[in-house]
Amino acid sequence: MLQLDVKTIYFLVGLFATTTGLVLFALSTTGRFDRWLKYWGISNIATGSGILLLTFRDIIPDFYSIVLANMLAIIGYYLLMATTQRLYHRRRIAVKPHLLFLGILTVLFILMRDADSYYAERTVLTALTCGFYAYCVAKSTLRIARKEDITSAYLVSGIFTVATVVFAMRAIAGLTHHLGGDSVFASGGVNMWTILLAAIIGPLWNMSMLLMIMERINRNWIGRALRDPLTSALNREGLKAAIENNSMRRQSDAHPVTALLLVDIDHFKQVNDKLGHAFGDQLLCTFADIVHHQLRSSDLFARQGGDEFVIILPASGEKEAQDVAERLQNSFAHATEKLKQDGLSITLSIGIAVAASDQIAHSLNSLMEQADSALYQSKHHGRNRITSAQAA
């Protein structure tokens, strides 16, 4: 019967991580993915290579099997953290503090490179550092799960939370000298359990990361199909899909009414004729930015076509809709103040309609007609007005 010792388990874990990293890195060279895939691949290669070097302890110089092995494993976790933070923030993280920290760690490992000494101290340093980076991954993926409603990101966050706990246990065991032996290949105590858990967690987090990223890509592609490419507002199909979404129904069910605003930019044709279509597009984007800053996360914003937009305010009545409309008019007037120098008075005409929340999905067309009639009254009575369907 085949029996695996600790060194063999380490070797298999390192081999799996390295192979996975090479596959991911190869995929990143196709140009179909963002840089995060390359970072993820390199992180696996670094961690796997470090673990593989570890298994050659007493065969190769201690510098390679201790200093380089530990630092490669730590750098792998750092790159994984950088990958997830880039996925969440979509910007680069501060590199210099981490490079300084990693440089200090390298010096410490060089000073403690004797294989027969400092085993517990090296274990504590590696466990604390990798545990910190695992915690950062768990935190970033939890934010992705909550902000973007990606189910698989909860799984990734859970797995890295477990990894954080495992590293914390290993660090405590090192501090209290309860690792179960005086070597990384000792077959008892906490040392044995942590490497077995690593053998399980490693493949799991790579598979869960892949699920999260594929779900995210799928959401992005669907989102692009349902959004106006110029303003990032929903298009007509996107508005319909959002209204039918369960999350909106849950919010609407708890409140009796929902308001709809139909907004039109006054004299928009004059802007295109006098300043050009490029400036007109810029004006539409300016309006969209104002709306995005004014609305709640539960509100819906869609472009009907041209310079006409729809805003749906769940759990809001006529008064709340009037308040939102006035804020939009004031903000837009401030943003277009300079256009008066060109003889253009660009304002907003708005029509408001209110309906029962539980009827929105079934009566959207009727509600749009009511708001359109109110908008017509705003236009007819001199523009730059807010008219309610109740008074139209």
Enumerate the active-site residues: 307
Instruction: State the residue for tokens 């189910």.
Output: 151
Torsion of CA 328, 286, 238, 251, to 10 degrees: -40
User: For residues 308 and 291, is the Cβ–Cβ distance under 8 A?
Assistant: no
Instruction: State the residue for tokens 């029509």.
Output: 351
Between the alpha carbon of residue 235 and those of residues 120, 179, 354, 373, the distances in Å are 60, 59, 21, 21
User: For residues 141 and 157, is the Cβ–Cβ distance under 8 A?
Assistant: yes
Distance CA 258, CA 318 (A): 9
Q: Report phi then psi at 265, rounded to 5.
A: -85, 120
The strand pair at 257-265 and 308-313 is best described as antiparallel
User: For residues 337 and 329, is the Cβ–Cβ distance under 8 A?
Assistant: no
Distance CA 345, CA 127 (A): 64
Distance CA 320, CA 316 (A): 6
Which residues lie below 8 Å from residue 20, measured CB to CB, with a gap of 6+?
44, 48, 206
* H/E segment holding residue 223: helix 189-225
Between the alpha carbon of residue 98 and those of residues 75, 77, 110, 144, 367, the distances in Å are 10, 12, 18, 23, 55
- DSSP H helices in 92-188: 96-111, 119-148, 151-175
Between the alpha carbon of residue 352 and those of residues 258, 330, 371, the distances in Å are 11, 17, 5
Instruction: State the residue for tokens 């004006």.
Output: 283
Residue 293: strand, helix, or coil? helix
